[in-house]
């Protein structure tokens, strides 16, 4: 087998970019000249629409309309933005709401699930989950005198039992990008009578999820990664329609009340997904997220997935042919069916490598002890950028 030259990879990348049905979508983003951005799995870049809408919100809705904007627009935002996110995660309208951050939403979701499984004394979680998920699961377990059982995702189906109230895992592993067998895990949990809470932080906007088809109970996820809502953008929470009437959550803020503006002393939960709200929406951040979600208009989930796979496949081929010989190991699944939208490479001295890349205008991120993560966001990354990234990695690896 002959290995391609960098010029050949670039020619191939140009051909792929020319045939890319999402090529025009990149113009919806304002990525600085000279920057190759491979960190959309941590913070999506600015969209032109977010800038425009934030400006208008500040100058018109806030400065001119003042408090009238709550009735005119802002009160409806959490539901409206939830409904924009819903099709990206296979959820029906009215089952997703935008609120708080992922950690708070996970707390609400787990507390909700535990309350619906009285008498059970265990939470099962993926040991490789993002730390916040484990911390929150542990705090919920401790509050109820329950056991938190941490196992590898592949062991969850055999770990669940009649003791288990709820299982929680992240659909796409934040380090390796491994896509968990959500169907098997959900089915096994349900067969044991337990509920399932999925964290979709590394899925929403890049990797297909079918919450309704999975029959998942609850799910949460971030607004600032592949949804591009901006730093600190609010998160989202999903609850299956079949549980909504019975679902409770412990943060009885006034926005979760059936009639917030009745100012009643007693708490009555809102009908539907609004009961998962807490307090006042973070309007500016939510506006930014809402605007950024328009970048998905006209884009199908199949197109997103095809582009994401095409980018990561090209990168992994270059890893195979060029990068592994200069010290990089593959920290992500080689099979695209099991890989999300980022690729992790192991590299001794990865932290310095990420700094060197940044010095060359290439933004990626580092996760200890030695993983370098590259997010390939299907809305704006190109195949040519992917080759330029690999070429730089080869150069830095050889010099190491
Ligand atoms: C899987 C996962 N869950 C949750 C979070 C963060 O949650 P929060 O919105 O509370 O900061 C992250 C952040 O990177 C994450 O990767």
User: Which three-class secondary structure string do you get for the chain?
Assistant: CCCCCHHHHHHHHHHHHHCCCCHHHHHHECCCCCCEECCCCCCCCCEHHHHHHHHHHHHHHHHHCCCHHHHHCHHHHHHHHHHHHHHHHCCCCCCEEEECCHHHHHHHHHHHHHHCCCCCCEEEEECCCCHHHHHHHHHHHHHHCCEEEEECHHHHHHHCCCCEEEEEEECECCCCCEECCHHHHHHHHHHCCCEEEEECCCCCCCCCCCHHHHCCCEEEECCCCCCCCCCCCCEEEEECHHHHCCCCCCCCCHHHECCHHHCCCCCCECCHHHHHCCCCCCHHHHHHHHHHHHHHCCCCHHHHHHHHHHHHHHHHHHHHHHHHHHCCEECCCCCHHHECCEEEEECCCHHHHHHHHHHCCEECEEECCCEEEEECCCCCCCHHHHHHHHHHHHHHHHHC
Contact 207, 172 (CB under 8 A): yes
Say whether 373 is catalytic: yes
How many residues does the structure list for the chain? 400
**DSSP β-ladder status, 362-363 and 342-346:** unpaired
- Residue 260 Cα to ligand 1 midpoint, Å, equals 29
- CATH number of residue 160's parent domain: 3.40.640.10
Contact 344, 177 (CB under 8 A): yes
Same-domain pairing of 386 and 287: no
Q: Which of 246, 272, 296 is the C-terminal boundary of a domain?
A: 296
Contact 229, 51 (CB under 8 A): no
pLDDT of residue 400: 76
Say whether 307 is catalytic: no
- Residue 101 Cα to ligand 1 midpoint, Å, equals 8
Residue 244, exposed/middle/buried by CB under 10 A (0-12, 13-18, 19+)? middle
103 within ligand 1 shell (Cβ under 6 A):
yes
Total domains, the chain: 2
- With respect to residue 1, please indicate whether it lies within any of the assigned structural domains: no
- Residue 165 Cα to ligand 1 midpoint, Å, equals 23
Q: How far apart are CA 121 and CA 165, in angstroms?
A: 7
Place of tokens 């045939």: 19
Instruction: Count other C-beta atoms under 10 Å from residue 270's C-beta.
Output: 16
Same-domain pairing of 292 and 304: no
- With respect to residue 59, please indicate whether it lies within any of the assigned structural domains: yes
69 within ligand 1 shell (Cβ under 6 A):
no
Same-domain pairing of 272 and 289: yes
Q: Which of 296, 327, 343 is the C-terminal boundary of a domain?
A: 296
Say whether 224 is catalytic: yes
- Show the tokens assigned to 144: 């109820």
Same-domain pairing of 59 and 107: yes
**Which residue in 108, 120, 225, 275 is the catalytic one?**
225
101 within ligand 1 shell (Cβ under 6 A):
yes
Same-domain pairing of 328 and 262: no
- Residue 207 Cα to ligand 1 midpoint, Å, equals 16
- With respect to residue 40, please indicate whether it lies within any of the assigned structural domains: no
- CATH number of residue 387's parent domain: 3.90.1150.10
126 within ligand 1 shell (Cβ under 6 A):
no
203 within ligand 1 shell (Cβ under 6 A):
no
198 within ligand 1 shell (Cβ under 6 A):
no
pLDDT of residue 28: 98
- With respect to residue 35, please indicate whether it lies within any of the assigned structural domains: no
Ligand 1 atom with minimal separation from the 222 CA: 9
Ligand 1 atom with minimal separation from the 101 CA: 9
Contact 348, 280 (CB under 8 A): no
pLDDT of residue 324: 96
- With respect to residue 46, please indicate whether it lies within any of the assigned structural domains: no
- Show the tokens assigned to 259: 């009639």
pLDDT of residue 1: 56
Q: How far apart are CA 134 and CA 188, in angstroms?
A: 20
128 within ligand 1 shell (Cβ under 6 A):
no
Same-domain pairing of 120 and 150: yes
Contact 366, 360 (CB under 8 A): no
**DSSP β-ladder status, 362-363 and 36-37:** parallel
Instruction: Count other C-beta atoms under 10 Å from residue 198's C-beta.
Output: 27
79 within ligand 1 shell (Cβ under 6 A):
no
Same-domain pairing of 200 and 220: yes
- Residue 135 Cα to ligand 1 midpoint, Å, equals 12
**Which residue in 29, 37, 130, 374 is the catalytic one?**
130
Same-domain pairing of 130 and 273: yes
Name the stretches of the chain with pLDDT < 70: 1-2
- Residue 201 Cα to ligand 1 midpoint, Å, equals 6
- With respect to residue 330, please indicate whether it lies within any of the assigned structural domains: yes
Of all protein residues, the one whose alpha carbon is nearest to atom 8 of ligand 1 is: 102
Q: Which of 259, 274, 296 is the C-terminal boundary of a domain?
A: 296
Of the candidates 307, 400, 308, 318, the one whose C-alpha atom is nearest the C-alpha of residue 354 is 400
- Residue 222 Cα to ligand 1 midpoint, Å, equals 6
- With respect to residue 38, please indicate whether it lies within any of the assigned structural domains: no
47 within ligand 1 shell (Cβ under 6 A):
no
Say whether 135 is catalytic: no
Same-domain pairing of 273 and 347: no
Q: How far apart are CA 169 and CA 171, in angstroms?
A: 6
Same-domain pairing of 310 and 325: yes
- Residue 102 Cα to ligand 1 midpoint, Å, equals 6
Instruction: Count other C-beta atoms under 10 Å from residue 5's C-beta.
Output: 10
Of the candidates 96, 85, 93, 90, the one whose C-alpha atom is nearest the C-alpha of residue 274 is 96
- With respect to residue 43, please indicate whether it lies within any of the assigned structural domains: no
**Which residue in 199, 275, 315, 374 is the catalytic one?**
199
Same-domain pairing of 289 and 308: no
Same-domain pairing of 268 and 358: no
Which residue range forms the structural domain that includes residue 153?
51-296
Ligand 1 probe mutation, 222, 229, 234, 278, most atoms within 8 A of CB: 222
Ligand 1 probe mutation, 105, 174, 204, most atoms within 8 A of CB: 174
């Amino acid at each position: 087998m002959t290995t391609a030259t960098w010029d050949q990879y670039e020619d191939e990348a140009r051909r792929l970019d020319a045939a890319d049905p999402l090529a025009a979508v990149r113009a919806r983003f304002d990525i600085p000249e000279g920057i190759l951005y491979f960190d959309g799995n941590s913070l999506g870049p600015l969209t032109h629409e977010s800038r425009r809408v934030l400006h208008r919100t500040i100058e018109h809705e806030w400065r001119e309309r003042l408090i009238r904007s709550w009735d005119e627009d802002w009160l409806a935002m959490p539901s409206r933005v939830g409904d924009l996110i819903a099709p990206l995660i296979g959820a029906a309208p009215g089952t997703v709401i935008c609120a708080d951050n992922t950690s708070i939403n996970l707390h609400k979701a787990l507390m909700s699930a535990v309350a619906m499984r009285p008498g059970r004394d265990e939470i099962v979680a993926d040991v490789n989950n993002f730390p916040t998920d484990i911390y929150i699961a542990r705090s919920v377990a401790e509050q109820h005198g329950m056991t938190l059982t941490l196992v590898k995702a592949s062991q969850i189906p055999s770990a669940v039992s009649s003791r288990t109230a709820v299982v929680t895992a992240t659909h796409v592993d934040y380090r390796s990008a491994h896509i968990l067998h959500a169907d098997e895990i959900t089915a096994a949990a349900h067969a044991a009578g337990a509920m399932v809470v999925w964290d979709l932080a590394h899925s929403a906007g890049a990797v297909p999820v079918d919450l309704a088809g999975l029959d998942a109970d609850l799910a949460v996820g971030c607004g600032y990664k592949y949804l591009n809502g901006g730093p600190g953008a609010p998160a989202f929470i999903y609850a299956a329609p079949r549980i909504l009437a019975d679902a409770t959550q412990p943060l009885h803020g006034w926005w979760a009340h059936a009639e917030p503006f009745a100012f009643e002393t007693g708490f009555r939960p809102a009908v539907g997904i609004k009961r998962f709200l807490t307090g006042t929406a973070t309007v500016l951040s939510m506006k930014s997220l809402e605007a950024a979600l328009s970048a998905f208009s006209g884009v199908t989930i199949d197109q997103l997935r095809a582009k994401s796979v095409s980018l990561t496949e090209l990168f992994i081929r270059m890893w195979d042919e060029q990068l592994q010989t200069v010290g990089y190991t593959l920290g992500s699944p080689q099979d695209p069916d099991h890989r999300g939208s980022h690729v992790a490479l192991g590299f001794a001295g990865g932290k310095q490598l990420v700094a060197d890349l940044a010095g060359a205008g290439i933004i990626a991120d580092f996760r200890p002890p030695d993983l370098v993560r590259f997010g390939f966001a299907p809305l704006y990354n190109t195949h040519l950028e992917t080759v330029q990234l690999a070429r730089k990695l080869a150069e830095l690896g050889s010099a190491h």
